[in-house]
């Protein structure tokens, strides 16, 4: 007798709808862009990955001066378009869970975002500078950083 999959299992499907995969996780949606709470980012990424979205294309950060926004682009081979996950972080706590448990290659994206913007990825096993020298002070893409003659 064949075992049946648990009801919560996500079946890999070429036509998998990101909104259905992320049901109950995202706060709002605009087309294939979903706003997710920071505590749910690993769950959201895991659901997408299990639903066939196998490629993490990019992780980046936006400095809005009053808050941070982390942006993830995730693609599925054979499907047009990119699923975008957005997470807002408070200015005073730029920390988000790492997604290396879902996509091991995310470690490189997280290191770059840490190096240039100072976002900490909790659980990343190798969170250190990747582009700048180890003794570089600060994070050069933050809006408060000033370089050169500012007069």
Q: Domain residues of the chain, as ranges?
A: 18-94
Neighbours of 64 (CB within 10 A): 12
pTM of this prediction? Answer: 0.82
**Would you write out the chain's pLDDT as a tens digit for each of its 151 residues?**
444 333 344 444 456 789 888 988 888 777 799 999 999 999 999 999 999 999 999 999 999 999 999 999 999 998 888 999 999 999 999 999 999 999 999 999 999 999 999 999 999 999 999 999 999 999 999 988 877 665 5
CA distance 58 to 11: 24
The beta-strand segments (E) located in the chain are 26-30, 33-36, 55-63, 67-75, 83-90, 95-97, 120-122
CA distance 20 to 25: 10
The beta-strand segments (E) located in 17-93 are 26-30, 33-36, 55-63, 67-75, 83-90
| Superfamily, domain 18-94 | NADH:ubiquinone oxidoreductase Nqo5 subunit (3.30.460.80)
């Amino acid at each position: 007798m064949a075992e049946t999959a648990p009801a919560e299992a996500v079946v890999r499907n070429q036509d998998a709808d990101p909104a259905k995969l992320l049901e109950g996780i995202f706060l709002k949606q605009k087309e294939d862009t979903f706003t997710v709470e920071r505590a749910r980012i690993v769950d959201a990424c895991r659901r997408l990955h299990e639903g066939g979205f196998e490629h993490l294309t990019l992780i980046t950060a936006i400095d809005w001066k009053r808050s941070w926004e982390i942006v993830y682009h995730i693609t599925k081979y054979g499907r047009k378009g990119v699923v975008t996950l957005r997470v807002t972080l408070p200015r005073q706590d730029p920390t988000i869970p790492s997604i290396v448990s879902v996509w091991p290659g995310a470690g490189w994206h997280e290191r770059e975002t840490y190096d240039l913007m100072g976002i900490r990825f909790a659980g990343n096993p190798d969170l250190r500078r990747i582009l700048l020298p180890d003794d570089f002070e600060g994070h050069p893409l933050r809006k408060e950083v000033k370089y050169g003659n500012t007069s």
